[in-house]
Amino acid sequence: MNPIRAIYGNRQQGDDLTDQEVARAYPWPDSRRWVRAMMVTTLDGAAAGADGLSGSVSSNADQLVFDAVRRYADAVLIGSGTLRAEQYTPMRANPEDAKRRAADGQLAAPVVAVVTGSLQLPWELPIWSESAHRPVVITRADANEGRLATARDHADVIALQEVTPEAVVDALAGRGLRRILCEGGPSLLRDLVAADLVDEADITLAPLFAGTSGSPSTTVLPDVADFRLEQVLEGDGTLMMRYLAPGR
C-alpha cells in the first residue's frame, strides 16, 4: 500500500502520515455543531464505476481517509437511495476508539441516520440489528402508518412536519449527535449545501475516467457555493482534499 502524505496545508507536508496522523488531519470541533460532506469523484466527474458503487472508483488511500473521518463522527447521515445502492454494513465500535470517544462524551460508534420520504427501506440488511447503536430514520410525520410501524421496529424514528435540511440537522443535534458526516446521496448533499449547512467538504479526486451516465444529477443551486481549500493529502495517485465553507 502506498503511503499517504500531505502536499498542501498540513504542517507535516511531505511526510508520510500514520493512521493516527491522518485522523488528526480531519479534526472535529470540540463543542459546536459541524456538518461535513464526503464524496469521491473521478477525473470526469463520475461518482461510481460500472457497478454503480462508489467503491469501484475509490482506492486504499481514499478508504483510509474515509475511515479516519468516520472515526470520531457522531452520526453518519445518508439518503435512502445511498443506503440501498451501497448496501451499508453495520456500524460497529472499534474498542480502541471507543475509549477516546467515551472520554469525549460520545457514543462508542457513530449512529447511522437515514433520510427517507417513502420509508421503503431494505429492512433485511444487518445494519438495523447489528450496529453498535440503534439507527435513526428521519421521515415525514404524515408518512404511511404501516410503514412507520415497520420503521419503528427497526430504528428510532424522527417524524418531522417538514423534512428540510435544517430540520434534519437540528433533529440530530438535538439528540447530542453534533458531529454529522453526510455520505450522500447527491440530492441530500445538494440540499444541505443550498441551506448553507455544510461546514466542510472532504472530496477525493480519483485518477480515473469512468463515464457519468450512472452518476445521478442534481438541480442547479440558486447561487454557487464557495469553499476554501484547507488541505490536500495524496496517496495511490489519489488526491484527498479538505475544503471549508466561508467563515468556518
Residues whose CB is less than 8 angstroms from the CB of residue 171 and which lie 6 or more positions away in sequence, other chains included:
138, 158, 160
List the domain range (segments joined by +) for residue 114: 26-44+54-208
Per-residue pLDDT at 220: 94
> Is position 223 within any domain?
no
> Is position 166 within any domain?
yes
> Is position 21 within any domain?
no
> Is position 236 within any domain?
no
Per-residue pLDDT at 2: 65
Per-residue pLDDT at 87: 94
Per-residue pLDDT at 192: 98
> Is position 85 within any domain?
yes
Per-residue pLDDT at 215: 87
Per-residue pLDDT at 185: 92
Domain CATH for 93: 3.40.430.10
Per-residue pLDDT at 15: 76
pTM: 0.95
Per-residue pLDDT at 216: 85
> Is position 83 within any domain?
yes
> Is position 142 within any domain?
yes
Per-residue pLDDT at 1: 54
- How is residue 192 written as a grid cell? 444541505
Domain count, the chain: 1
- Per-10-residue mean pLDDT of the chain, 248 residues long, equals 84 82 93 95 94 92 95 97 95 91 95 97 98 98 97 98 98 97 95 98 97 90 95 96 96
Per-residue pLDDT at 102: 94
> Is position 161 within any domain?
yes
